[in-house]
Amino acid sequence: MIENISPNLVPVYAEIFLLIAASAILLIDMFLSESKRALTYYMSLATLAVCGYLTWIDYSAGTTVYTFHNMFVSDPMSNLLKLFTYLATAITLIYSRQYATERGMMSGNLGGEFYVLALFSVLGQMIMISANNMLIIYLGLELMSLSLYALVALRRDHAVSTEASMKYFILGALASGFLLYGISMLYGATGGSLDISIVARTAALGTANHKILVFGIVFVVAGLAFKLGAVPFHMWVPDVYQGSPTAVTLLLGGAPKIAAFAICIRLLVEGLLPMAIQWQQMLMVLAVMSLVIGNLTAIAQTNLKRMLAYSTIAQVGFVLLGLLSGVVGDDTSNTATAYSAAMYYTITYVLTTLGTFGLIMMLARAGFEAEELSDFKGLSKRSPWFAAVMSILLFSLAGVPPMMGFAAKFAVLQSVLSTGAVWLTVVAVMFSLIGAFYYLRVIKLMYFDEPTDTAAIAVPFDMRATLTINGIAVIVLGIYAGPLLTACMNAMTRTLGT
């Protein structure tokens, strides 16, 4: 491990480049006519590609480097998560291009703000992922959140989007307040430090004020649960997913989940692992409630985006199962395995949900949102290939082998079972089976019902190719799950030093 007390800019080259590039794109876009706005799109993808290259160099080195007085860390976990953040955002922009153009989200006064705000939200996520200081985590979180608030409200003439933006802003501010209050209590309990490594040492030595520390953990977990969308802090998820333009819904439900997982690891594992017995019990309640409420409520939904929102809540329950199975009593031998399983699950969920929302945008057209379950009736007759891709993605979300989702669920359940919590494994499996119903219902509509919409499906080549690759990848990464799972395991092992 390399420690640099004085600022070393090499680990933050990707963040610096993204900041400069996003600002430059915003300025250049001001002078572009609407017919030339495709340039903004290509510049945004190129920016993400360059960031990916810069991060890949750090990831290949496999070292852990601290800079800016230990407030920022570049380690294997952060670099791997950043790579998938770039990938998820790039895929989102490809899927969203036609959808956003048809709805006037890139015309008139709006210009290229959709792309620029998406890039600034990525910058916030990168800061969250690499933060080694609680204040830096909060700054990254707010940069991401403020960009997403603006994106949800981008269609100012659309009442539903405006309402969703207000709900997201108010509840997001409440969540940030919870998290900030919890951080302030941790700061006071550990002798006045925001450095995560110092907080961990103080908690391990037992010199912290125990009562205040536990109260701080309660507020931190509540704030994290809001950001993840776990029950009972899930109220904003279905309303915001349904009310936002589908392109923005995907920006909310994709890459930010990776950043939220990262700050869970930074705060709970790297900072508060000595207090695992306290926060694991909280996560257990959140996980079980998310599995129960998410899966049962999704069955009653007729709006596909709302159904997928409750599906997200249930999927978050599995991520929490991985996070709560790292420590058993005083035994920390399972930490790397459990947390890498949760990391793998997060990545696989994001890659799968990208495709599902991409297909919703594919079927949508100007003046028509393909959001209702009935809109997918007879899709196999209109487009057999994309009906097959949608089936693959839904099977993956349901955890059907050999899809990627099955490998992810299996990895998490193995970690939970290794802790001896058989009842928790049974609950997870039982509600996964219940949840399979609403995924299979969509497949039934696509293959056994007559289409209600016979309009031709016009899909740009880049979107068609990316959706195809997305669907194939879900199968391939399910059959050959080893390389990605191993990468997650290696990244987590090196990062945690286990």
Q: Which pLDDT score, from 0 to 100, does residue 35 have? A: 73
Average pLDDT value for residue range 433-444: 92
The rounded percent of the chain whose pLDDT value lies above 70 is: 96
Please tell me the predicted confidence (pLDDT) of residue 185.
Answer: 92
Higher pLDDT, 1 or 111: 111
pLDDT 10s digits, 200-228: 888 888 777 888 899 999 999 999 999 89
Closest CA to 51 of 92, 79, 23, 93: 79
Cβ contact 84:63 at 8 Å: no
pLDDT at 103: 74
Return the pLDDT at 1: 46
Arithmetic mean of pLDDT over the chain: 88
Which H, E and C letters describe the chain, residue by residue? CEECCCCCCHHHHHHHHHHHHHHHHHHHHHCCCHHHCHHHHHHHHHHHHHHHHHHHHHHHHCCCEEECCCCEEECHHHHHHHHHHHHHHHHHHHHHHHHHHHCCCCCCCCCCHHHHHHHHHHHHHHHHHHECEHHHHHHHHHHHHHHHHHHHCCCCCCHHHHHHHHHHHHHHHHHHHHHHHHHHHHHHHCCCCCEHHHHHHHHHHCCCCHHHHHHHHHHHHHHHHHHHCCCCCCCHHHHHHHHCCHHHHHHHHCHHHHHHHHHHHHHHHHHCHHHHHHHHHHHHHHHHHHHHHHHHHHHCCCEHHHHHHHHHHHHHHHHHHHHCCCCECCECCCHHHHHHHHHHHHHHHHHHHHHHHHHHHHHCECCECCCEHHHHCCHHHHCHHHHHHHHHHHHHHHCCCCCHHHHHHHHHHHHHHHCCCHHHHHHHHHHHHHHHHHHHHHHHHHHHCCCCCCCCCCCCHHHHHHHHHHHHHHHHHHHCCHHHHHHHHHHHHHHHCC
Give pTM, 2 decimals.
Answer: 0.93
Query: Would the pLDDT of 495 be above 90?
Result: no
Predicted confidence at residue 209, as pLDDT, reads: 82
Higher per-residue pLDDT: 371 or 14: 14
State the pLDDT at residue 294: 93
Per-residue pLDDT band at 105 (split at 50, 70, 90): low
* pLDDT value for 110: 61
Over residues 377-397, the mean pLDDT reads: 90
Query: Which of 21-25, 78-82, 150-154, 156-160 has the weakest average pLDDT?
Result: 156-160
Asked if the model's pLDDT at residue 423 lies above 50, the reply is yes
The mean pLDDT value for 236-255 works out to 89
* Angle (deg, nearest 10), helices 38-61 and 113-130: 10
Q: How confident is the model at residue 383, as a pLDDT? A: 86
Q: Of 1-5, 475-479, 480-484, which range is least confident?
A: 1-5
The pLDDT of residue 394 is 93
Query: What integer is the mean pLDDT of 150-164?
Result: 83
Interatomic CA distance for residues 475 and 105, integer angstroms: 34
Query: What's the pLDDT at 4?
Result: 47
Q: What are phi and psi of 226, to 5 degrees?
A: -60, -50
Rounded percentage of the chain residues whose pLDDT exceeds 90 = 53
User: Average of pLDDT values for 410-415?
Assistant: 92
**Residue with the two structure tokens 């990316």:** 466
What are the structural domain ranges in the chain?
A: 2-496
Q: What is the tens place of the pLDDT at every residue in 75-97? A: 999 999 999 999 999 999 999 88
Q: Which carries the bigger pLDDT value, residue 225 or residue 375? A: 225
For residue range 303-360, what is the model confidence (pLDDT) as tens digits?
899 999 999 999 999 999 999 988 887 777 788 889 999 999 999 999 999 999 999 8
